[in-house]
A and B are shown apart, each in its own frame.
Chain A
């Protein structure tokens, strides 16, 4: 799924890169806003006790560290499992995307940051995905993988959590590959109608694989990290 440099035209890559950087800043500001609002609430609650403002911030600063440690762990899991390519046909392999895994554990904004950071490291240090195509890869894997999958999961997980995960994985993989096809079409690399059946058919199988791995990873991660399986 990682698009290398050269497949997309430069204008499209540029626009998507700016959009991706904007989204990273927006999501970080959302996390910052949540943190500062919570600090305010905590400070108000402890103002009656004999704790001054600097002490209450210190207490919360520890919680910020713990929160980001959890995001780091999720990112490490995604990076490691993305290295594990599994053969899906005699000529093709696939790996976990991980957006649903991160979105269920942290919500869409933090998940977007996790996925983006993984993609940035892969692109800059491992040539896994192009540097100019970073914006396209962030849109396909981080944005769709985090936001679309999170809201699909929320809509379908009320009755059965596993069903919600399966549908979210299905939509995240299929939508990411569909958007990737549109980007390739806009860049003149493919004829959309002929490539559509080919790539979507292939990704249908990959989405089932994504769902299976995501369910397993969620169970294992929550278990070893001492979290409830709700």
Chain B
């Protein structure tokens, strides 16, 4: 496979593996919160893909994979917008200096 494509395929494949094999155990901070009994202070916030699950998809693995892939797409969009803003600002500054 083309190396340029591989650099994009690896994160998607990692999301796929994560949906199958990622540990469901609490992380270090959650463990601390459980041990020191302040876990009940947590305020649950709801968002579109809470807990890396895709709404309306019953199968857990598919749901996690879809949510993770959408996360990758959202990151691309955020960087695309930033690139556009930086390009326009750079052009503005460049033209002003001329």
Residues of A within 8 A of B (CB): 1-7, 28, 31-32, 35-36, 39-40, 43, 53, 57, 60-61, 64-65, 68, 71-73, 75-77, 79-81, 83-88, 91-95, 113, 117-118, 120-122, 124-128, 130-131, 177, 180, 189-191, 194-195, 198-199, 202-203, 206, 220-221, 223-226
Contact = CB atoms under 8 A, between A and B. Distances in A.
Q: Which of A92, A113, A220, A221 has the most CB of B within 10 A?
A: A92
Interface of B: 3, 6-8, 10-12, 14-15, 17-19, 21-29, 31-33, 35-36, 38, 41-52, 64, 67-68, 70-72, 74-76, 78-80, 82-83, 86-87, 89-91, 93-95, 97-98
A79 B71 contact: yes
Q: Which of B41, B42, B90 has the most CB of A within 10 A?
A: B90
A91 B31 contact: yes
B87 to A, nearest CB: 5
A130 B97 contact: no
Q: Which of A40, A84, A206 has the most CB of B within 10 A?
A: A84
A127 B71 CA distance: 12
Interface majority SS on A: helix, strand, loop or mixed? helix
B17 A28 contact: no
Given A40-B94, A77-B11, A127-B46, A117 B71 contact: no
Nearest to B12: A80
Given A2-B29, A93-B26, A121-B78, 5 more contacts: A3-B29, A6-B41, A60-B90, A94-B28, A225-B3
